Amino acid sequence: MLLTSPLIKKYIYLYRYKLALGSLFVIATNLFILLIPRTFKYAVDAIRDYQMPALLHSVELILVYALLAGISRFFMRNILFSAGRYIEQDIRNDFFEQLLRLPQSYYQQMKAGDLLSRALHDMDHLRYLFGHVTMHVTNIISLYLFAVVSLATIYLPLTILAIIPFPLLFLATRYYSKIFFSQYKEVMEKMATITVSLQEIFSSISAIKAYTREEHVRERFVTANDGYVQSNLKLVKTSSMYHPFISLFTSLSAIIILWLGGILVIKGTMSLGSFVAFNGTLVFLIQPTIFIGWVVNLYQRSRASVARIEEVLYHPEIIENAPETDYSITELPGDITIRNLSYTYSGSSAEVLTDINIEIKSGQMVALIGEVGSGKSSLLQVMQRIYNPPRSTVFFDTNELYTIPLSTLYSETSYVSQEPIIFSGTIRENIAYYNPELPFSDIQAAAVFAYLEKDILSFDQGYDTIVGEHGITLSGGQKQRLAIARAIIKKPKVLFIDNALSSVDTETEEHILRNLLTLKSTMTTLIVAHRVSTLKHCDNIILMDQGKIVAQGTHEALLEKNNLYKVIYEKQKL
């Protein structure tokens, strides 16, 4: 049941007045509409008795009721449909806020196209739920109630016969609604598959063309598209069985009334006016019955979408300020202490970090080195709460990690990954991403620091060069240097560099490292590195293997005393 959904309950409460007012106008519309066939009774009887004043009065009433029904219908649609739009907007905002709180591990499990499908297609179904479904459910319930009461006051025995088929109809609707739900969920998942496929194609088009994989990609997309069509055809088949079933029962009711009501009129038991009013009211009872199938479709589609959206909104792992956060902490010292840190990724049983203990003094340049998968990147990410480590394991000076507000942690640190994120704007906008209002002199200084300005000035548009989506116009080394410039312009107290010099040549690397050394008085630097040329500049080198620290010291000391470090060094000399 959707009414038990925390998401639905929340927004029904927030928009309760608007939804209630819109529903009242639905009820008012039905009340005025049902007064029209009832007035026809008096009009027909007036015609039979040649009563012109009574006929004119009936016509006037019908016009008034029709006008009032039209006004009520305008307000009900305006209020409920606008409420649906506002609720869709609010839920999409909540969805986006949740995406910002979710840890990086979540995005490693989920595909971007799937999340995009939930943010667009599923949100659209929620708008229909609060707008169209609310309106039609209220319409069906109120119209049934008013119509049955009106029919009973006209001729009760005939009313009982007229509604006999409807319980069977409700049982059939309940049976088919379960099928609709599972099939709509499958349709949404197939749509997500198409979105994922398109997103991957758009982001990887250069590689697709370089490796002449167009035919392979085409086959994958055609398969995904065919799966979407097939799931929709299953839904069409179910709908094709359900809707004629509804029409059959409503027609059966009309036939019963036409036959038995006609006999009653012929026998004089029922007036012609009452018979016309009864049939006119029955038409309004049949109309929402036909709509039941459409409403059930919308409801089950919305139910499937609610389930998909709640999977994201109420995901238990989020990155947010802890209860013990001390909001008076607005700056971070450069000292870092890690005590007995062990960490396991969610859903895994193997530790990626085991009993890590490190002391880093403010202004030091520290390198992390080790084979692939030794835990270097994981350690950097845990220190920044990209992943949540155990409590009382990471400290900045004397401040335990969870006492530091996230705004302080992220504003006082910078992180540069091996595959930097480049936005599809200009070089100037990418460097100044932290603060677009920064003066050009600061942007230029950061580019010079990252040994990037010479490359920038070689472009026709200089700093205003559009880099394209994901920086497609830049080389790997230029992307990394652009990311370093963006990190440095923040003037962080702690800089994390995760193998972000891997695509630059040794000369360029040397320039950047020397520039980093000039900031030792104001910035602590942690570098995941592989080149020995990088390590020679560091105050301390931490050697990791299988998630553990196996040695640490200067380059010369490790080269003399540690065989694993010596092996890594000798490999690089080859």
Domains located in the chain, CATH noted: 2-313 (1.20.1560.10), 333-412+492-574 (3.40.50.300), 421-491 (3.40.50.300)
Cβ pair 396, 339 in contact under 8 A: no
The CA distances from residue 16 to 20, 75, 572, in Å, are 6, 16, 68
Cβ pair 309, 126 in contact under 8 A: yes
- Residues whose CB falls within 8 Å of the CB of residue 264, separated by 6 or more in sequence, listed in order: 155, 158, 270, 275
User: What sign does the dihedral 312-314-316-319 (CA atoms) show?
Assistant: positive
Residues forming beta bridges with residue 545, ordered by sequence position: 548
How far is the C-alpha of 406 from the C-alpha of 398, rounded, in Å? 16
| Mean pLDDT, rounded, of the chain | 84
Q: What residues in the chain have per-residue pLDDT under 50?
A: none
Residue-wise pLDDT for 295-316, tens only, equals: 777 787 788 888 889 888 888 7
- Residues whose CB falls within 8 Å of the CB of residue 149, separated by 6 or more in sequence, listed in order: none
Q: Can you read off the two tokens belonging to residue 63?
A: 């016009």
What is the reported pLDDT for 417? Answer: 84
Q: Can you read off the two tokens belonging to residue 416?
A: 């540069």
What is the reported pLDDT for 303? Answer: 82
How far is the C-alpha of 500 from the C-alpha of 168, rounded, in Å? 68
- Which amino acid belongs to residue 432? A
How far is the C-alpha of 482 from the C-alpha of 428, rounded, in Å? 10
What is the reported pLDDT for 75? Answer: 94
Q: State the DSSP string of 257-310.
A: HHHHHHHHHHHTSS-HHHHHHHHHHHHHHHHHHHHHHHHHHHHHHHHHHHHHHH
DSSP code of 403? G
Order of strands across the sheet that contains 351-360: 351-360, 336-344, 394-396, 399-400
In which residue are the tokens 């049939």 written? 279
Q: Can you read off the two tokens belonging to residue 491?
A: 């003037």
